[in-house]
């Protein structure tokens, strides 16, 4: 028995690829990558999923009449694929409190800083690394956390560090944080939570 996982994506899918490789190496015994759901039909992450034999779906916020319609479209896919856990891997669409509250301790996100630094509303992508460089920090990193109604406000699962080096640009720093921290921590956290869900009969239930 395995926890059925949906990975939500919007772009290139490098964190998805880290999960795919982690699973292929036999390191995800408690979880199954059962669905990759994209907010954009042109997301390259969908190609990565198809090449790995993972079912895919697209639910576009732009083409949805409202946030409620968008989220009901997502919920429909989660029901169809019997999903038990969600991993946000570069998913750029906002999810409402009414959505996230349905999945207590079952939605994971990776944020490219050491929360509580450089996080919250508006802090995503290169913006995080630009701020880190502007402040002159010497150590940065990434955080995998549960998702709740507060942007980047959920319980921390894992954190990892990466150095800030002389001559770093936001792009260089972003790449280092991804390679040294995000691509390692997110798969590790995914297995931990998938195992916790299987092991604990009292684990918070999903509301699908």
Catalytic residue positions, numbered: 111
CA dist list (Å): 163 to 60, 65, 66, 157: 37, 44, 42, 21
CA dihedral 101, 69, 95, 1 (to 10 degrees): 60
CA dihedral 181, 187, 192, 196 (to 10 degrees): 140
């Amino acid at each position: 028995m395995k926890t059925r996982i949906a990975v939500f994506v919007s772009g290139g899918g490098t964190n998805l690829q880290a999960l795919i490789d982690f699973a292929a190496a036999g390191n995800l015994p408690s979880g199954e990558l059962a669905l990759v759901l994209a907010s954009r039909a042109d997301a390259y992450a969908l190609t990565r999923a198809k090449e790995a034999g993972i079912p895919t779906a697209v639910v576009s916020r732009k083409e949805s009449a409202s946030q409620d319609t968008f989220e009901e479209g997502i919920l429909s896919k989660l029901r169809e694929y019997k999903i038990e856990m969600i991993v946000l891997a570069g998913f750029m669409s906002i999810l409402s409190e009414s959505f996230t509250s349905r999945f207590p301790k079952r939605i994971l996100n990776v944020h490219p800083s050491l929360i509580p630094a450089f996080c919250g509303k508006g802090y995503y992508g290169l913006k995080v690394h630009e701020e880190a460089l502007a402040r002159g920090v010497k150590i940065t990193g990434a955080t995998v956390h549960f998702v709740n109604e507060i942007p980047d406000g959920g319980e921390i699962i894992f954190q990892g560090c990466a150095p800030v080096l002389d001559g770093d640009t936001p792009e260089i720093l972003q790449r280092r944080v991804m390679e040294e921290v995000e691509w390692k921590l997110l798969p590790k956290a995914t297995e931990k939570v998938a195992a916790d869900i299987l092991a604990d009969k009292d684990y918070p239930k999903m509301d699908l």
